[in-house]
Amino acid sequence: MIEDGELAQLVDDGIRGVTSNPSIFQQAIDTSEQYDDQIREILASNPEASVDEVFEELAVVDIRNAADVLRPVYDNAGRDDGYVSLEVSPLLAADTAGTIEAAHRLWKKVDRPNLMIKVPATPEGMPAIEELTAAGININVTLLFALSAYEDAAHAYVRGLIRADDPSTVSSVASFFVSRVDSKADAVLDKIGTEEALELRGKIAVANAKLAYRTYRAIFEGPAFAAELQNGARPQRCLWASTSTKNPAYPDVLYVDSLVGPNTVNTLPPATVDAFIDHGEIDSSAVGSNAADAEATLQAFRAVGADLDLVTDELLKEGVEKFADSYVDMLDTLRRKIDSITG
């Protein structure tokens, strides 16, 4: 996408940022020879390089080049947009010190102001978010499912901003996952099986996201953050993640149309981008409207005997495991590629 100009065309069409993950790298490494020459160069300069080190070098080059494509967006938007996200190893999700060290290393290696480092919203990730923000590193807080975790991440960002030398240079997003919530919640509702329970299918994720946005506004548009705004600080925007519709019975742009609003970001896979361009609807008040109805929906979810905290706890646990598994699978693919190149 970088080399053939597809990414530049997407940016021209209105895409404002890019994220990466190990699964994307795995597919690219496994199904093409585009990385073979880079792998040879890395091994020629460092024959003892581990597979992790080889991957990091490959990733850094791609992220740096993508950041360069998006740099005009970043400059023209006054640093509000134009970011590229790269995650620390998911194997560090329970390691605060390891996450901080890895984030500093990646930040220095990529050496682009429009980089965001992805840090998971685990209990161990929260202090890392504060420390890295204080150090002036842009953070994409990922794997947010619970409202309580979102609030913790927002406050960690604010604490970091207060300690930062120049808060005006720091940006952050809070990646709040959407469709996975409905997938898990729908399974719970199907198991309960009452008419009241079944009526709630496909409604929990958007309601959960709307309440997260209400919390965002309370924190970042309230008087407590006003002093930071005066110092040039930016709010930590809500980013809606996992926005492709998993259930074919639901509209394919359900998690896009419903969550449009000021100071939000939506990460879309290519098929959802195409669907939204074709028939999406833009209502700039969508995510900020009907918060009372959203709260009532979640109360109804609990009233039928479902436990939203249990749902979000399981999603975080599964998300950490899936990210780690994807990373390990990617390393296995890369190891096989290295073996085939080196014989």
Could you report the per-residue pLDDT of 66-115, keeping only the tens digit for each? 999 999 999 999 999 999 999 999 999 999 999 999 999 999 999 999 99
- Binned at pLDDT 50, 70 and 90, residue 21 comes out as confident
Burial 255-267 (b: 16+ CB within 10 A, else e): bbbbbbbebbbbb
Map out the domains of the chain as residue ranges: 178-306
As a whole number, the mean pLDDT across the chain is 96
| Structure-token match 């020629």, residue found | 44
pLDDT for residue 343: 81
pLDDT for residue 51: 96
pLDDT for residue 246: 93
Give the span between the Cα atoms of 30 and 55, in whole angstroms: 13
Q: Do 275 and 253 meet the contact criterion of CB atoms below 8 Å apart? A: yes
Q: Is 118 a catalytic residue?
A: yes
pLDDT for residue 115: 98
Give just the sign of the alpha carbon dihedral 160, 163, 165, 168. Answer: positive
The per-residue DSSP string of 173-208 comes to EEEEE-HHHHHHHHHHHHHH--HHHHTTTTTHHHHH
pLDDT tens readout for residues 180-237:
999 999 999 999 999 999 999 999 999 999 999 999 999 999 998 999 999 999 999 9
Mean local confidence (pLDDT), 258-276: 95
Q: Which of 118, 184, 203, 210 is catalytic?
A: 118
Give the span between the Cα atoms of 238 and 261, in whole angstroms: 10
- Binned at pLDDT 50, 70 and 90, residue 54 comes out as very high
Residue type for position 252: D
Contacts of 168 (CB under 8 A, 6+ apart): 231, 232, 233, 234
Mean local confidence (pLDDT), 8-14: 94
- Binned at pLDDT 50, 70 and 90, residue 263 comes out as very high
- Binned at pLDDT 50, 70 and 90, residue 292 comes out as very high
pLDDT at 24 over 90: no
Q: Do 159 and 219 meet the contact criterion of CB atoms below 8 Å apart? A: no
Q: In this structure, which topology does domain 178-306 adopt according to CATH?
A: TIM Barrel (3.20.20)
